[in-house]
Amino acid sequence: MPTHQIHVSKDYLIFCAAHFITYDGEAEPLHGHNYRVSVTVEGDLQTDHLVFNFVTLKRLMRQIVDRLDHRTLLPDANPHFTITRAGGEITVLTHGRRYVLPEADCLILPMPNTTAEMLAQYLAGQLRERIGATPNLRACEVQVDEVQGQSAIHREEWRR
């Protein structure tokens, strides 16, 4: 059965955020990116001959992306991080380093590491929650670019 896709990549689907990840037993230094996000949804045409409304998709993605903008992104499930909240501050302990950040400037995300791959998966999940039950949609693909030429893509099937 033929399917169709719509794709959105807009200049306002950008978020500037700091993060640091762990890999190979080490932790990166705290640094930031100007992340760019694009999204593709795939599915059957509805009775109005649309897969999904572009205006709605752009609005939803902008809401999701804006929540990450100008934040330090922290994972809630990284065994190498100890994160505590007290007095309006977040303290992160990792690999002998201690970071104290204003709580309002941080966003703790439900993931093991704030890699581009995990951010793409998180964004796809957030979109799925906001779209809800839409029987014609089959799949979603989210791309997160850290810099031009360096990106991660997460694709998930929404209907089989």
Give the pLDDT confidence of 54-70 residue by residue, as tens digits. Answer: 999 999 999 999 999 99
Confidence at residue 115, expressed as pLDDT on a 0 to 100 scale:
98
Q: Is residue 100 part of a domain?
A: no
- The span from the CA of 60 to the CA of 56, in Å, is 6
Q: Residue 68: give the domain boundaries.
A: 4-76+112-157
Confidence at residue 25, expressed as pLDDT on a 0 to 100 scale:
86
- The span from the CA of 14 to the CA of 20, in Å, is 19
138-156 residue pLDDT tens? 999 999 999 999 999 999 9
**68 - beta bridge partners?**
none
Residue 90, pLDDT > 70, answer: yes
Considering the entire predicted model, what is its pTM? 0.94
Q: Is residue 51 part of a domain?
A: yes
Q: Is residue 122 part of a domain?
A: yes
Q: Is residue 98 part of a domain?
A: no
Task: Quote the number of domains for the chain.
Answer: 1
Q: Is residue 141 part of a domain?
A: yes
Residue 125, pLDDT > 80, answer: yes
Q: What are phi and psi of 85, to 5 degrees?
A: -120, 135
- The span from the CA of 151 to the CA of 48, in Å, is 34
Indicate which CATH number applies to the domain containing 15: 3.30.479.10
